[in-house]
Amino acid sequence: MEDNIIPDSQITATDYAFSSWRPSYARLHHNTAWSSHRPDVPQHIQIDLNQQQYVTGVVTQGKDDAWVENYRVEYTSIGGNWKFVSDTTGGPPKVFTGNTDIDTPVTNMFPAPISVSKIRIHPGAVYRWIHMRIEILGCDV
């Protein structure tokens, strides 16, 4: 995402706070971030990879004295059902450890690579607000 290969139009969210906190600003090391206007209700940011890709993990950052402390990752393949990343097949959604400050990138690798076309990150606990910058790790199928 940081390299802008994924167009802004393929990064969406359930909501965002203001035009200066759009989902497309959720790129790692961007000078702003995605921020939800409603952190009190379930939110997610979605990245459409526009083709099948192997995804192996996620890197996150906070921004401006706010961050996501933990999150879950959901994914789908072209024409498939949405599923959460878990430690075991059919197990409960894995809760990934997020950030503890605004700038330090935190990398979380999945238990195994997954083949996806779209991926969603569902923030859980937050410090102050949902301020999130992300990178999707992986390679072409």
Here the tokens at position 43 are: 């939110």
The pTM score is 0.94
Query: What is residue 141's predicted lDDT score, i.e. its pLDDT?
Result: 57
Within 10 Å of residue 37's Cβ, how many Cβ atoms? 15
- Answer for the pair 130, 36: CB distance below 8 angstroms, yes or no: yes
User: pLDDT per residue over 114-133, tens digit each?
Assistant: 999 999 999 999 999 999 99
Here the tokens at position 1 are: 């995402």
Looking at the domain 8-140, which fold is it?
A: Jelly Rolls (2.60.120)
What is the separation of C-alpha 126 from the centre of its chain, rounded to a whole number of angstroms? Answer: 14
Amino acid at 77: S
> How many CA atoms within 13 Å lie on the side-chain side of 14?
14
